[in-house]
Structure 1
């Protein structure tokens, strides 16, 4: 299945080259490299946007361009055997520049790229559009990430305490993901104080206090999944109601996330949902999410995003009301949604919300330590 999916992807890229009246395509960005190889990491530092290993299509040939430092790792650890057998390696000495090896393949040819390097035509936006609909191997990866993310939240969050610092919470969450071979691209920790102050709280050396929610963006094989879970250490009916109102706003977004619907139309429904829970201005304070995939948000929805949703898209909506947040990652199907990060087997307690004829189960805010 993977080999056929890869061949189909190469066929799509060759058509792009033809449509752009070019003869070669160089892919260097980490998101695009992971997409075309079904998950290979062409980077070394986790925050890289452009990697040190490159993917080249020239006429009927497909190459991996890599220096001698990365060759063995890419071939043995990053590429599946099915894909490794479909490409040729062009290795060069680390002290050489990319152009030193690339020119022998493309000099005199019309070159496309996702960086604009070497006077090439930048087609990064077109590649992004191709990334947005996932193939079955990618969906299976997402399901695996989501299952593990849910298990980590369900196992760890009940063990936290009000006396812990945000740093300590971040440390334990990060360790749990790393132990499972998942890269925590982002771990935000919101204690009692910070949840009121910031929409993006980078953890600090302050105690969590009476309430806590944790938001993560985690990556495997290039795909990034987002999820948030919330707990209370002291029962507070106001926070419980607000959390459920927040879940309702997300549920409205999800109920409208179906093939044929435009992102800006979903965004307008989100704004109405905030008003329906008497929080009409909260959407001003933070973006509401949108399409996910090889970036935490491939497309952030707003009034102008007219992308039409399709089966195979992944969405991650993240509505917030000051102090609370509701967020998970969903696969859009022809006839509904599949929650990737809150599976039906989850042990995390849920709250059911009715939106028209649709019932959506969202993770509830959990009261810990029997507070009453």
Structure 2
């Protein structure tokens, strides 16, 4: 699983470092799929949102529009039955202060979800922490705009975090939380353990910022 996560993260980096603002969303989705296939990973899902659609849609299937000044790429790859999911952003300009704020906010929501994802806890309890953290950051109700993720492993999501979801998190449970706000999202695949969370979809070449003591993906500005 660690090897899959690392390879999926490298595929993401390769695709977004190649991307150009005059590419279409289809072009970027194709580049992401190609980068996965080159590593023996089946692209189970690719999502792309360019400048215009990014603030409007949380789950944007790729279309024929040009990317413009920024884009989001979502990859969900399968190899040997296991799934790894991750989301990253590329900017062809400097991000605005508001874009950076939203990026920081989704990372804080994710950190709260992971802090609640301890062996013995339920997905419902982790979801409640997500809801609370959105509200504390001034985004009450944001959890209603898209699902927030949940357990993964042999499916892109095996059980979603939802109110009263009583599925228990165990040691070595695979999780992929994906908090989002307009134009901002964070997603990685991780494993829970007695020592905490181990993020699997990591490429050391991707820029990071420290959030709650953990390196998290930054916006890639090219």
Give the TM-score taking structure 1 as reference length.
0.58
- Structure 1, gaps ≥5 residues long: 1-141
- Runs of 4+ aligned residues of structure 1 deviating over 6 Å after TM superposition are none
Aligned to 2:39: 180
1:193 Cα deviation from its structure 2 partner: 1.4
Which residue is 1:243 aligned to? Answer: 103
- Aligned-partner SS, 2:166: coil
Task: After superposition, give the CA deviation of every residue in 1:343-372 in whole Å (9 maximum; x if it has no partner).
Answer: 6xx111111112xxxx1221011221xxxx
SS at match of 1:196: coil
Kindly indicate whether residue 48 of structure 2 is the aligned counterpart of residue 189 of structure 1: yes
TM-score scaled to structure 2, two decimals?
Answer: 0.96
Structure 2 distance, partners of 1:350, 1:254, is 18
Q: How many residues align?
A: 221
Q: Does 1:347 align with 2:205?
A: yes
Counterpart secondary structure, 2:189:
strand
- In structure 1, how many angstroms separate the alpha carbons of the residues matched to 2:100 and 2:89? 10
- Partner deviation per Cα, 1:126-145 (whole Å, 9 max, x = no partner): xxxxxxxxxxxxxxxx1111
Query: What CA distance in whole angstroms lies between the structure 2 residues aligned with 1:158 and 1:238?
Result: 24
Within the candidate set 157, 170, 174, 2:29 is matched to 170
Give the match for residue 178 of structure 2.
Answer: 318
Pairwise CA distance, 1:307: 1.4
Is the CA contact (8 Å cut-off) linking 1:282 and 1:322 kept in structure 2? Answer: no
- Match 1:234 to one of 59, 77, 93: 93
Higher RCO (C-alpha 8 Å, min separation 6): 2
The structure in which a higher percent of residues are helix is: 1
* d(CA) in 2 for partners of 1:212, 1:276: 27
Q: Report the equivalent of 2:153.
A: 293
Asked if the contact 2:12/2:35 (under 8 Å) is kept, the reply is no
Tell whether the 8 Å contact from 2:54 to 2:182 is kept in structure 1 after alignment: yes
**Is 2:109–2:130's contact at 8 Å kept on the other side of the alignment?**
yes
Deviations 1:258-281 (A, max 9, x none): 111111111000001111221112
Within 2, Cα distance between the matches of 1:212 and 1:237? 17
Q: Following the alignment from structure 2 to structure 1, what is the Cα–Cα distance between the partners of residues 177 and 171?
A: 17
1:270-281 pair list within 5 angstroms: 270-281=130-141
Question: Paired residue for 1:144?
Answer: 3
Task: Determine the structure 1 residue equivalent to 2:68.
Answer: 209
Alpha-carbon offset, residue 316 of structure 1? 0.3
**Matched residue of 1:209: which SS?**
coil
CA RMSD of aligned residues (A): 1.1
In the alignment, the residues of structure 1 paired with residue 39 and residue 12 of structure 2 have an alpha-carbon distance, to the nearest angstrom, of: 13
> Is contact 1:291–1:316 with CA below 8 Å preserved after alignment?
yes
The structural deviation recorded for 1:244 is: 1.3
1:118 maps to: none
